[in-house]
Structure 1
Amino acid sequence: MSEAEPIVVSVEIDDPALADRIVALLGSVPGLRLAAPGEAANFALISRERPKALEPAEIELTPRELDVLALLAEGASNKAIARQLGISVHTAKFHVGSILDKLDATGRTDAVAHAARRGVINL
């Protein structure tokens, strides 16, 4: 019976200390082999440093936009937002668009996710 080929693992981690720890751990696992630089691997462990999240103070939402964002987090439609805040649907759409721009979001759900990650709202 022949021995199975080892699984080749590439480690691409920006943090040198973390990379050294991972390499040391993986180096002792039977059936794994670390890939040489430039060598094709069966899979890769990749970790890039995350860009610093914006502090809530760096995101300047108006009090009304914060009200709209809270309703977005509840899944409210533009019509429901307008009704709840006593504004027109057009104004609700305007506020939603402004929030998407300020949070650099691609949609309503993305805006809520960005806001939660940045500490603008708590879910």
Structure 2
Amino acid sequence: MSEETSPPLLIAIDVSDPALADRLALLLGGVAGLRLAAPGEAANIALVSRGQPAGERSEIELTPRERDVLALMAEGASNKAIARQLGISVHTAKFHVSSLLDKLDATGRTDAVAHAARRGVIHL
């Protein structure tokens, strides 16, 4: 029996973040049966970064420490665990969590993480 080989599936990537585009190209470049399209080349599939949904476009300004706290919240860390990991007091950890809830317009810790993920503030 002769084995028929199909032409590779041609994929175009249009992502505004160059680092992300490079990561995707690296990951997809080695997949058998796929080939990345050259710029301007017609493709079978296009991966396009469309940004955030219209209702979620507002910029959220988080301090580096708030980002650290948010990352630990996403891992399920308690205020005590956050304080221990970051070398801050539990009171300060609570303050940062409260600030995040306000900035993300969230009703609780899980809601804050979900809002942040939807808005692209963190990547789960």
Query: Structure 2 length normalisation: TM-score?
Result: 0.56
Could you say which residue in structure 2 is the equivalent of 1:96? 97
Q: CA RMSD in A?
A: 1.2
Percent of paired sites with the same residue: 85
Deviations 1:35-77 (A, max 9, x none): xxxxxxxxxxxxxxx752125xx10010000000000000000
Q: Distance in 2 between matches of 1:51 and 1:106?
A: 21
Q: Distance in 1 between matches of 2:57 and 2:70?
A: 17
Q: Distance in 2 between matches of 1:81 and 1:114?
A: 20
2:115 matches 1:114: yes
Deviations 1:64-111 (A, max 9, x none): 000000000000000000000000000000000000000000000000
Q: Distance in 2 between matches of 1:70 and 1:106?
A: 17
Unaligned 5+ runs, structure 1: 1-49
Tell me the CA shift for residue 119 of structure 1: 0.2
Could you say which residue in structure 2 is the equivalent of 1:52? 55
Q: Distance in 1 between matches of 2:102 and 2:87?
A: 23
- 4+ long deviations beyond 2 Å: none
Instruction: Please tell me the residue identity of whatever aligns with 1:81.
Output: I
Instruction: Please tell me the residue identity of whatever aligns with 1:52.
Output: G
The structure with the larger Rg is 1
